[in-house]
Amino acid sequence: MELPGFAVVVWMFVCLYTSVVGYPNGKVREACTNMVPCHGGSPQLSPEHTITVNGTEFKPGDNIEVHLSGPDFEGFFIQARDAEHLDSPAVGSFVLADRRHSQLLTCARTKNSAVSHTSKAKKKDIKVYWIAPGDAPKRVQFLATVVKKYRIFWVKIPGPIVSQSDVLSPTPPLHATSEAMSTSHPVPYISKPFSASGCGITKFCIRNPANCDPGSASCFFLSFQQEGSSVFIEMSGPSEGYLAFAFSHDQWMGGDDAYLCVNEDHHVHVSTAQLKERSHPLLDSENALEDVSWRLADGVLQCSFRRSIHLPAYKGRFNLDTSYYIFLADGEAGEGGLIYKHRRQPLVTDGLYRVTGVPQDIGGSRAPRLIKAHGALMFIAWITTVSIGVIVARFFKPVWSHSFLLGKELWFQVHRMLMLTTVMLTSISFVLPFVYRGGWSQQAGFHPYLGCAVMALTIFQPLMAGFRPSRHAPRRQLFNWFHWGTGTTARILAVVTMFLGMDLPALDLPDPWDTYAMIGFVAWHVGTDVLLEIHSYCLVRKVEVIEDDRVQILQSLTSAEAEGRLFKQTVLTIYACGNIVFLVAFLIAINQV
């Protein structure tokens, strides 16, 4: 039996892709107790990496800067433990300095009590902050496991020991007080998460996901409550870098009135800024905000402040009695409060809203409607119509060869209808990103280049089919190979392009669900293809072994055809239903971003 070419190639791609996404993602909770990576083999004896801290004493609530450094390494795992009992559970919690290379883990039911890597990318230095708990032991030691390569690692590299200083009453946590940019007095501390109880009743709220609880670690929340001639604003979300929102006259960045809450070494600075096109925000030298408060707890950043509805003395501040589009963004912040570009699309309201008008409780979308439509149409085309069309053409010629529709064989009409639908959907979808961007996107990596290649092959395929030689023409075999090769190449490139497009900021489907779902679809298609190929092979063998007489052969052929028809139609029905399930799952995911 000859395995279908597309099945072989795509299966190779899935295997290769799986090996790529299978790199350690740092979620190594299994190592919480013994700090040993599940790599097999024995740890190295002489450490090459060191742990340093910026202090030797602490009080409950203090934070200590912890550095892990040394030659290039791929993975790491950091904990703080009782220095007198190093086998005891982790002590205290950590706060990240760089979310690109490190992430927080929960060990022994203590939230954020360990830090690990986010990817296999090589690194030389990791910085985190350890927050001392109220019940900390007298002496605490930092430990680290470092993975240089899969089989080369060190376990429980000993770090400095810090001692609890003798104090009668612990000082409040460092993140409980700070100074705002425009004030010289301590900023009040927000004691608890914000509440959504007044949303749509007394205050205007934006929540993402829709109707989420601001106390949740996954909820982005922004509220406006008018109080006389001023508006009290609350903003919170899962970020250890910065949160920002802006008022805009359109759905594009540029010429906007922005407000930022930036985590700078565990002090949150609240400021106003102006957005000039897609450049770094220009912070205002004077701050028009009052009653500034903030809080950092459990990976959630909160800030609140008040501003007047009208600020004629401050250039760039919009009046709040006018309708605007509202942006809500989050991202990382570096040394000195420097903010980096948000890695995902900001949430943007779907219309103009006046925050001092009738209170509303709305959501927003992080994916523009045109990009959502682009993704949805591509999924419809390349998950349903083209896949079913290929199965029909490959395996249903003998099944539907005696059935006709509009003067042509049924299998051919079904195949042609599905493929022309694919061309139409792909063509419409192809145009939408250019309409949205107003041109070529420089920030989408290889996705647009591969998309153009898919579009070109999609157009070329029906044009080539229009010049198809007759069935018995000498060049018909050559045409069949070209037709198959072009279609197979287009489908492989389409799958790769969809893999790349799902994680682009403009769409950013839930990760890693999107990757697993796409791998599942490819495996579903390849499995169906292989199953039908095996069935066809077995059917032919079943007929060949009957060699008694012509009557028996003809009877067997008739029986085999009936058996083959029923089996293939059943498989096609199940396959189409499975494709629809995958499609609906992707469409639901697109609708929710």
**From edge to edge, which strands make up the β-sheet containing 93-96?**
50-53, 63-73, 123-131, 93-96
Q: Where are the beta strands (DSSP E) in 216-299?
A: 220-227, 230-238, 242-248, 256-264, 267-275, 282-283, 290-297
The answer as to whether 280 is a domain residue is: yes
Assess whether 293 and 263 both reside in one domain: yes
Assess whether 154 and 106 both reside in one domain: yes
Assess whether 338 and 374 both reside in one domain: no
Give the pLDDT score at 188.
62
Collapsing DSSP to helix, strand or coil, 215 comes out as: coil
Q: What distance in Å separates the CA atoms of residue 205 and residue 211, rounded to the nearest whole number? A: 10
The answer as to whether 286 is a domain residue is: yes
The answer as to whether 175 is a domain residue is: no
Q: What distance in Å separates the CA atoms of residue 143 and residue 159, rounded to the nearest whole number? A: 6
Give the pLDDT score at 194.
92
Structural domain tally of the chain? 3
Assess whether 215 and 320 both reside in one domain: yes
Provide the CATH number for the domain around residue 358. Answer: 2.60.40
Query: What is the chain's length?
Result: 593
Residues of the chain with pLDDT under 70: 1-27, 29, 40, 166-188, 277-279, 285-286, 335-337, 343, 401, 542-563, 593
Assess whether 492 and 559 both reside in one domain: yes
Q: What distance in Å separates the CA atoms of residue 158 and residue 160, rounded to the nearest whole number? A: 7
Domain range for 500: 369-592
* Model confidence pLDDT, tens digit, residues 357-379: 999 999 877 788 888 899 999 99
Assess whether 291 and 440 both reside in one domain: no
Burial of 258 (0-12, 13-18, 19+ CB in 10 A): buried
Is the bond preceding residue 346 a cis peptide, omega within 30 degrees? Answer: no
Give the pLDDT score at 369.
84
* Model confidence pLDDT, tens digit, residues 58-111: 988 888 999 999 999 999 999 999 999 988 999 998 888 887 888 888 887 788
Q: What distance in Å separates the CA atoms of residue 260 and residue 277, rounded to the nearest whole number? A: 17
Assess whether 377 and 526 both reside in one domain: yes
Contact yes or no for 147/41 (Cβ under 8 A): no
Assess whether 505 and 433 both reside in one domain: yes
* Dihedral, CA of residue 420, residue 379, residue 329 and residue 25, to nearest 10: -140
Give the pLDDT score at 325.
94
Q: What distance in Å separates the CA atoms of residue 374 and residue 304, rounded to the nearest whole number? A: 38
Assess whether 424 and 500 both reside in one domain: yes
Number of H helices, E strands in the chain: 8, 24
Assess whether 70 and 99 both reside in one domain: yes
Alpha helices, DSSP H only, in 380-474? Answer: 386-395, 410-437, 447-465
* Model confidence pLDDT, tens digit, residues 153-204: 999 999 999 998 764 333 333 333 333 333 333 456 787 889 999 999 999 9
Assess whether 333 and 420 both reside in one domain: no
Collapsing DSSP to helix, strand or coil, 343 comes out as: coil
Give the pLDDT score at 562.
62
Mean pLDDT of the chain: 83
The answer as to whether 21 is a domain residue is: no
Q: What distance in Å separates the CA atoms of residue 309 and residue 324, rounded to the nearest whole number? A: 14
Give the pLDDT score at 195.
92
Assess whether 336 and 418 both reside in one domain: no
The answer as to whether 558 is a domain residue is: yes
The answer as to whether 250 is a domain residue is: yes
